[in-house]
Each structure stands twice: as C-alpha cells, then as structure tokens.
Structure 1
Amino acid sequence: MRKRNKKLTLPYLTRLIIKLAPKVGAKVVVEGEWGIVAQIIYRNGIVRSLRMYSLDLNHIASSDIARDKDYAKFFMQKKGYPVAEGRTIFEDNWSKVVKSKRTISYGLSYAKRLGFPVIVKPNSKSQGAGVCLSWNIGEVRRAFLEVFKGDKVAIIERYLPGNDYRIVVLGKEIISAYKRIPLSVTGDGQHSILSLLKQKQRLFSAQKRDTQINFNDLRIKIKLHHQGYSFRTILPKNHKIHLLDNANLSTGGDAIDVTNTIHPGFCKIAVNLTRDMGLRMAGVDIMVTRGDITKDPKCCDYYIIEINAAPGLDHYVTTGLKQRKIVEAMYLKILKALGKKD
C-alpha cells in the first residue's frame, strides 16, 4: 500500500472533508500519489467517494448532462428556463464522426447572424476556461481554434451582458449566493497594468487562494486591446478596468456576497432548476441583464448561463470568515446525508 506523500498539497475540498469527517464518525482514505481522489468510510460500513469537487451526492448521468453545456441548455430550455441563443460548432474531424456541417465556416456565418460581439466557449470545460468575447470574424475563428485544442465541441452564443451571479443550492436550501466580478485592476498612477496584475497574484497567494493568473492568456490581451491599453499602460489613479469577460473566481474574479439579500423569487428559480436537472447540489449561474438579484425576477430580465453539478467553493471561502463558515456548515450537512443508507 502506498503511503501518502506528506508534501502533497491536497485540494481544498479534500482537506475540508478530512477536517469534518470525525464529526460524523467517518474516516478519509486519500490516494497517496496525486491526492485527487479519496474514500469516506463511515462506521456503519457505507463508503462514499470524493474526486476533486465531486462527491457521491448527484447521480452520475445528471452530473454528466450538467457538465455538457449544450445538453444542459436543451433540458433547461425545455423546462421553460431562459437561456442565451446559440449553437454548437464542431471540430473538423469530429464533425465527420457526428455527420454535421456545423464546422468553423458555419460558426463564422452564424456569428454574423447573431451580431458582434459574440461569446465563444468550450462545451465541456469549467471554471471559465476558454470563454472568449469575440468582436470580429478573425477573433471568432481564433477563439474556435483555441477551444478545439482541448474540446471537440464549441458553443457560440449571443452576447447578453449584465450582473453575473452564482447561487449554490443543496436540496431545497440556498447555501450561498454571490455576485461575480471579472478579473480587474485599479490604477495607482505609477505602476503598469502588468505590475498591478502581478500585485494581485501576490495578494491571492497571501490569501491562500490558489488562483493562478495566466499572464499569457490571449483573452486578456484582446480585452486590453479593445480598451486601448497594453500591459505597459499606466492607469490613472483609481481607474478600474476589467481584464476578462467571464467572471469566474477561478480566473481571478472577485465575489460580493448577496446571500442575505437575494430575492426569494431567484431562490425559487435556483432550487427548482437544480431539481429539474436531477441534481441535489448545484451551482446555478444566472446573468441578470436588467435589474439585479435583489429584485423580483418578474421585474427583471435574466437568463441561465449554466448549471454546475460540482461547484468549486475553494475560491469563495477566501472572501471572508463568514463565507468559510457557510461552506463548512454545508459540507457537514452533506457528510451527514451521505452517511445514511440509500
């Protein structure tokens, strides 16, 4: 039997489960070489599994559908939830396998029909990977090629900007809700944008937040270009700019907690959607294009960005002690539920 490498840095959720397991009479056995997977063993003999952010809480097929953005959009739209207009585009070789003509050339024509800018993103990636706002045909083509380096299917959608929120649901309960702000820097009149970005990375490290800003991210350079800036630009004091168009915390975004101010109508939408997608726990991402999440949804315009069956909360917990306590209380509930026989 391999011993666990004591120098191995375990994922946040694994560390948390190890901390909480004794409170429910369970022990945790972690695979020793990589630390990505573990088993939770209860006194009554029940064994549950853990892999990164995924626990034995949601059914596998429902989780797989949620992970596939196109399939998830189909079922959400079928149930009457608003989603952004869009299509799937296939990598050339994969298009032959699935016998579809929706290749890059089709995607470029479709982009013109939608009107620029458009969103291009991978179908099966998470944490904001590869999500790109494209302003012209050249950028759309380049975005597709980037997506196809790691995914056979891309999604192109109409760009509908607004206030971006993540609502975490467990059963019929809202665990947390927060507004997500894209990666940004604020000028001080002295340092370049690149220097400010490096300062932000050091701040993340000091907060023990494992976000790694990709300084070579083409999306950042494109975003700067469209604002008339470069990495060398020195911003005026107190002038704030965004460097990405997606607001995921994993790509350097910030969170503003709205758990206590979210309107009950949006709570109901998130809980119902989680149930309708066959999930017990989910992160529901909602874009409110008119109004905000504190108001009655009937008085707002909004759409569902996506639903995540394994919402990573490791970045959220770094935003404050209150948030850390919320997450720990949630996973203690989950551990208790997992310890009961099916």
Structure 2
Amino acid sequence: MSTAEATVRRPVFVEILERLAAQRGARIETEPLYGYAGAVIDAVGRRHFFKGTHFDINRAGAAALARDKDYAGRFLAAAGLATPRGVLLHGPRRTVQLSLKNPLVAARLPDRAAAHAFAEEVGYPLFAKPNEGSEGDGVTRVGDAAGLDLALDALLALHDRVLVQQAVAGEDLRVVVLDGRVKAAFARRPLSVTGDGASPLSALIAARLAEFASDGKGARIAADDPRILSELAASGFTPDSIAEKGATIALLANANLSTGGSASDITDTLNPAAADAAIRAAAALGLRFAGVDLLAAPGAPPVVLEVNAAPGLAYFHRMGPQAAARVEAIYADLLDALLAS
C-alpha cells in the first residue's frame, strides 16, 4: 500500500457499521482504496450494497426521484405538503440536444426569460440552484434581476437544468426519517462570522475557514466564493466592511453543514407538525430512509425544501457524545432494517 493510500481515512459511517455489523454476526466489505463503497454481508452471505451514504434500503427509482428537485417538489405538493414555488430552467446545451429528438418539446422548455417572468410574479429574493445536487452546491440567493442573471450565468455554465425558487422564511431543519419514524432532528444555521469592531470581514472570513482545516474538515468553500460576496452585498456589506462588535454576519443563504453551517440537536423538542411533514415527505417519495430539509415558521405549515435519499450524518456525529450516540443508534436501526430485508 502506498503512503497516500495508507493516510486516507475511511468514512466515519463505515467504522460505525463495522462495529455494529460484528455485533450482529455480519461484516462489512469495502473497496480497498478509500473504503467509500462496499457491502453489508449477513451471516448467510447475502450482500446489501452501499456507495457513500446511498444504501440498498431505498429503491433506485425512489432515490432518483428525490435527487431531482423539481420532480420531487411536484410529488410532495401532490401529497398535500407545502413546497416553495419555483420554475425549472433548461440550459442551451440541453435544449439543443432535445431539439434533435423532439423539437416541439424543446421549443416549450422554460429558459432565462421564464426566470425573470417568475421573479416579476413572486418578487425577490429568490434562490437559484442546480436541479440535481446536494450539500448546498451552487445554491445562491439573489436579490434583483442583475443578481439573477449572474447566478444563472454561473449555474447554466455547469448544469443543464437550474431551479429558481421563491425564498421562504423559517428555521432550517434537517429531520432524519427511517421506516416512518423520526430518528433525529437538527436545527441548522448558515456559515457566519461575528464582528469584532476592528477587523474587516475578509479577515474574519479567512480565519473562520481556517478553522475547518485545523479541525480536519477541509475548507468546503473559498473566501471569494461568489455566493459569499452576493450574501454580503444583500446585507449591505463588502469584504472590506467592519461589522460591529458582537454582530453575527451570515455568509451564505443556505445552512448546509457541508458549506460551514452549524447545528444543534432538537430531536427531543421537534414540533409535531415538522415531524409529521418529514414523515409524509419521505413516504410521498417512496423512501424508507431520508433526510428531510424543512423550513419551519410559527403559525405556518412546515415547508419541505428537499428530501435527501442518502443523508450524511458525519457532521452530527462530531457534535458531541449525545449526538454521536443518536447517530450510532440511527445506523444500528438502519443496519437492522437492511439485514431484515
């Protein structure tokens, strides 16, 4: 084994599963280089495959449906759940490809003009994001027509389909559901810095991102990421601004943990309406195991943002002993469900 291979640490969930599997007379086999993909093998040799946090517990069709944000939103709305209003845009490359097969359909695909028409109808701010993706990749909040064009330029250069959605207020929640039961819930907050009354925001941002590297998490976003600059501008700041001492300045509109967000465990105090919405959302997409992202505001039904068919729990596992125990209990239940299937 090379030095590079020897220093690669396997995912936390694999280490947890190996310990839990041994207690159940099963074992875990992974590909040797990164340990990222493999199988749970039970006592009689049956194999239950996984790649990353994608497990055999969810059927392929259901997982693919959840991955498509626009289609998933339509199924969620049909099930009576609140979802953000939005419009799906198709990039030039996709439109050209489809026009060769079905020009009539290609001619009807919504494009950039549809995004501006939608903005005029519902108003700003809006969110623009890849229609397929996870971990907050590419999610951008825009506050005006110029910002919308900038976001679409960046997104359509990389993605064939982009979803533009109306912004919804509320506390950002991630609820983990397994077989119709809530297993954990976390309130999430976006990446932010706290002003000290002296340092420019650029210095505070650099220091905050450096903390990730020192913790072994890696910098999941660059200090000059356009989304940070856009969010600062929306709040009336620039990288050179000096925030008041004690002021919390959000750097991103989304609260994904993979882009530096933070979280707190609210499993024991989760609002019943949010729990019900999460359970119904997983069921609406045919998922046994899911991470449901909600926005919850007082006096309003929870809004389902997205449903993840392969929720990652590594960040929550690092939050402390109580959260770690909760995550390991989830994986124990998940493993039992896999072995019983």
TM-score calculated relative to the size of structure 2: 0.91
Query: What letter is aligned with 2:233?
Result: H
What's the offset of the Cα at 1:208?
Answer: 4.3
- What are the within-5 Å matches in structure 2 for residues 15-30 of structure 1? 15-30=15-30
Could you tell me how far apart the structure 2 residues matched to 1:206 and 1:25 are? 38
Indicate the residue corresponding to 2:329 in structure 1: 329
Per-residue Cα deviation, 1:106-134 (whole angstroms, up to 9, x for no partner): 22232222212211111001111111111
Indicate the residue corresponding to 1:182 in structure 2: 190
Match of 2:291 among 283, 298, 312: 283
1:192 paired to 2:200: yes
Indicate the residue corresponding to 1:45 in structure 2: 45
Per-residue Cα deviation, 1:87-120 (whole angstroms, up to 9, x for no partner): 1000012124151331122222322222122111
Q: Is the 8 A contact 1:48 1:56 kept in 2?
A: yes
Query: What letter is aligned with 1:16?
Result: I
Could you tell me how far apart the structure 2 residues matched to 1:233 and 1:136 are? 22
Q: Is the 8 A contact 2:49 2:56 kept in 1?
A: yes
Could you tell me how far apart the structure 2 residues matched to 1:326 and 1:251 are? 23
Q: Is the 8 A contact 1:209 1:318 kept in 2?
A: no
Query: What letter is aligned with 2:70?
Result: D
Match of 1:265 among 266, 269, 273: 273
- What are the within-5 Å matches in structure 2 for residues 1-342 of structure 1? 5-96=5-96, 97=98, 99=106, 100-210=108-218, 212-288=220-296, 290-291=297-298, 299-340=299-340, 342=341
Per-residue Cα deviation, 1:235-287 (whole angstroms, up to 9, x for no partner): 22211110110111111111122111112232222122212221111111111
What's the offset of the Cα at 1:34?
Answer: 4.0
3-state secondary structure, aligned to 1:260 = helix
Q: Is the 8 A contact 1:208 1:318 kept in 2?
A: no
What's the offset of the Cα at 1:199?
Answer: 2.8
Could you tell me how far apart the structure 2 residues matched to 1:56 and 1:86 are? 31
Q: Is the 8 A contact 1:211 1:250 kept in 2?
A: no
What's the offset of the Cα at 1:153?
Answer: 0.6
Instruction: Please state which structure has a larger fraction of its residues in helix.
Output: 2
3-state secondary structure, aligned to 1:128 = coil
Could you tell me how far apart the structure 1 residues matched to 2:236 and 2:294 are? 30
3-state secondary structure, aligned to 1:6 = helix
Q: Which moved more, 1:141-150 or 1:203-212?
A: 203-212
Q: Is the 8 A contact 1:90 1:102 kept in 2?
A: yes
Indicate the residue corresponding to 1:296 in structure 2: none
3-state secondary structure, aligned to 1:319 = coil
Q: Which moved more, 1:44-53 or 1:241-250?
A: 44-53
What's the offset of the Cα at 1:230?
Answer: 2.3
3-state secondary structure, aligned to 2:327 = helix
3-state secondary structure, aligned to 2:157 = coil
What's the offset of the Cα at 1:337?
Answer: 2.0
Could you tell me how far apart the structure 2 residues matched to 1:104 and 1:326 are? 44
How high is the sequence identity, in percent, across the aligned residues? 30
3-state secondary structure, aligned to 2:87 = strand
Q: Is the 8 A contact 1:95 1:103 kept in 2?
A: no
Unaligned runs of at least 5 residues, structure 1? 292-298
Unaligned runs of at least 5 residues, structure 2? 99-104
Could you tell me how far apart the structure 2 residues matched to 1:268 and 1:108 are? 35
